[in-house]
């Protein structure tokens, strides 16, 4: 899957892509990440990409001409790609959105804004707008990295164990169950006995119960968004009654 990033600071992507899972995925040619300097599409000797806002106000606004020219060129290179812009006004990026963007392995063109924002006319040339949270960042580069990481790990072959993504937090709408590894006891804290039992059915039930417990305690709002099985509802009622 190909990711094209349109940014004023392509060097920001060197380090995050040089290590760990993403680096291995790039080496295996499972994903292809290309950071493009927006200035290459800017006219004039100084390659200006921003200007003062009409109507006055503080800061600078990113110009429409270089951005649209870049988007058109990148669409020409990868006709199946979706163009995504990172903006506080966008849809909240979550696991469902990651699955949508990863579907069918279509490429992504990720447009990174800066300064006071992007000329509104650029938005006519994008397919989707996303925000990674209700806070202010200096630019769209960090959100673009988040999207690349979340989407790339859903590309077949990127994760060593294909079942890993299926059990992630939010993948089924609930928080993930607690995880443990050796030693079985550390400073008086023991691993739950059920995980040492070898009884896979009991382990599965414990993990589901812990998912429900954690979600109830920490993100109860998620329970209203998913379809629970009768067994889930029974466990949930027991947990509520025990509180």
Candidates 75, 114, 153, 213; catalytic one: 153
User: Which entry of 73, 116, 171, 176 is annotated as an active-site residue?
Assistant: 116
- Out of 88, 99, 178, 214, the active site residue is 88
99 belongs to the catalytic site = no
**Is residue 162 annotated as part of the catalytic site, yes or no?**
no
116 is catalytic: yes
By C-alpha distance, which of 165, 143, 163, 161 is closest to 152? 165
Q: How far is CA 74 from the centre of its chain?
A: 21
72 is catalytic: no
Catalytic residue among 168, 171, 172, 176: 168
Residue 239 CA to residue 75 CA, distance in Å, equals: 51
Residues known to be catalytic? 88, 116, 153, 168
């Amino acid at each position: 899957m190909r990711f094209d990033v349109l940014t004023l600071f392509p060097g920001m992507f060197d380090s995050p892509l040089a290590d760990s899972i993403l680096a291995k995925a790039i080496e295996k040619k499972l994903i292809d990440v290309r950071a493009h300097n927006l200035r290459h599409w800017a006219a004039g000797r100084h390659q200006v990409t921003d200007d003062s806002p009409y109507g006055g106000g503080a800061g600078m606004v990113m110009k429409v001409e270089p951005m649209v020219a870049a988007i058109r060129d990148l669409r020409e290179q990868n006709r199946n790609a979706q163009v995504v812009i990172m903006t506080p006004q966008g849809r909240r990026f979550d696991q469902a959105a990651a699955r949508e963007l990863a579907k069918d392995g279509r490429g992504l063109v990720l447009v990174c804004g800066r300064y006071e924002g992007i000329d509104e006319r650029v938005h006519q040339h994008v397919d989707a707008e996303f925000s990674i949270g209700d806070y202010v960042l200096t630019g769209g580069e960090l959100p673009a990295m988040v999207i690349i990481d979340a989407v790339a790990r859903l590309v077949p072959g990127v994760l060593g164990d294909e079942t890993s993504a299926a059990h992630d937090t939010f993948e089924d709408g609930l928080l993930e169950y607690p995880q443990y590894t050796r030693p079985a006891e550390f400073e008086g804290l023991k691993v739950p006995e059920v995980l040492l039992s070898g009884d896979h059915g009991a382990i599965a039930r414990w993990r589901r119960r812990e998912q429900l417990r954690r979600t109830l305690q920490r993100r109860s709002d998620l329970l209203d968004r998913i379809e629970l099985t009768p067994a889930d509802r029974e466990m949930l009622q027991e947990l509520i009654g025990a509180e």
